[in-house]
Amino acid sequence: VYDKVIRRLEEWGLSVKDAHRKYGFVIEGFEVIDNDAGLAPGMMGEVDGKKILILPGPPRELESVLDKVLDRIAGPVSERSLTRRIKTFGLRETEIYELLNPLRDVLEPLGYYPSIYGVEIEIRASGDPGEAEEELHFKEEKIREVLGDNVYGVDGDTLEAVLGRILREKKLTLATAESCTGGLVGNLITDVPGSSDYYLGGVVAYHNDVKMKLLGVSEATLREFGAVSEPTARQMAEGVRKLIGADVGLSTTGIAGPTGGTPEKPVGLVYMAVAMEGKTRVIKRIFRGNRLEVKKQSAYTVIDLARREILSVKNE
């Protein structure tokens, strides 16, 4: 076992130290399970008729070892309890509850988990593995029928990853023009592996001069309507689409706070736009929360807006 530890350290270009010797210790009579992700091996044995499994601490290493023995320790499965998170965006928890309430006898038990990322609906099913999976699928389809395109995914799906899949499937490219979000939209989009397939780039146009010089926002628009306005958001999205040569342009402009608000334009006011060939959609929102929360809500909302707009073209 210790020889494997030494080889692993050499592969990583690390020197062997006395502290590494502990990784070679094993319990007599226990089976050693290789850890492909680290140094500490797993061990499995039996004491007083009970199976004992010893795993490394770091999650990635734990999973590496557990995957190798799970089938052996789990035993036959005659009944299973399954859960699934249905991910939504655009509706409040109370609105979802009211829409699903007529189906409560069919869907319960249900769990609702709201956040700035939307509302997740947890559905559950138990019984024979095949029957439980069928029940989950049935419940998910019922929820999708009621909530429509407010549902964007399940379990590990994120809005930015779902948007990426849609762009890739449609062979579309994307560019972003951001003011109040300061690059957060672009950051979320590029957090998705492979986003270079569809994301061309973006402009953080915080100052009005940049909005005019790079994005083509007219001085007359800024003078008459201001930077935080529907016409400015529209021209930003159309401008970045033209500047970068993308199929889809997104924009955000607003007042993240905590200062800068007025009675006419309060803190939290944000305009977001999506521009495509022959079509631009602008929405207005007033978000609550601190500066970072307003920025996050704005970023996720414009990503969701792009998802909906592209799908609407797809379905026309």
User: Would you state the pLDDT for residue 314?
Assistant: 55
Which class is 159-314 in CATH? alpha beta
Per-residue pLDDT reduced to its tens digit, 147-163: 999 999 999 999 999 99
Per-residue pLDDT reduced to its tens digit, 226-260: 999 999 999 999 999 999 999 999 999 999 999 99
Break the chain into its structural domains and give their ranges.
2-74, 80-154, 159-314
pLDDT at residue 78 greater than cutoff 70: no
- HEC string of the chain equals CHHHHHHHHHHCCCCCCHHHHHHHCCCCCCEEECCCCCCCCEEEEEECCEEEEECCCCHHHHHHHHHHHHHHHHCCCCCEEEEEEEEECCCCHHHHHHHHHHHHHHHCCEEEEEECCEEEEEEEEEECHHHHHHHHHHHHHHHHHHHHHHEEEECCCCHHHHHHHHHHHHCCCEEEEECCCCCHHHHHHHCCCCHHHCEEEEEECCCHHHHHHHHCCCHHHHHHHCCCCHHHHHHHHHHHHHHHCCCEEEEEEECCCCCCCCCCCCCCEEEEEEEECCEEEEEEEECCCCHHHHHHHHHHHHHHHHHHHHHHHHCC
CATH for 80-154 is 3.30.70.2860
pTM: 0.78
CATH T-level fold of 2-74: Molybdenum Cofactor Biosythetic Enzyme; Chain A (3.40.980)
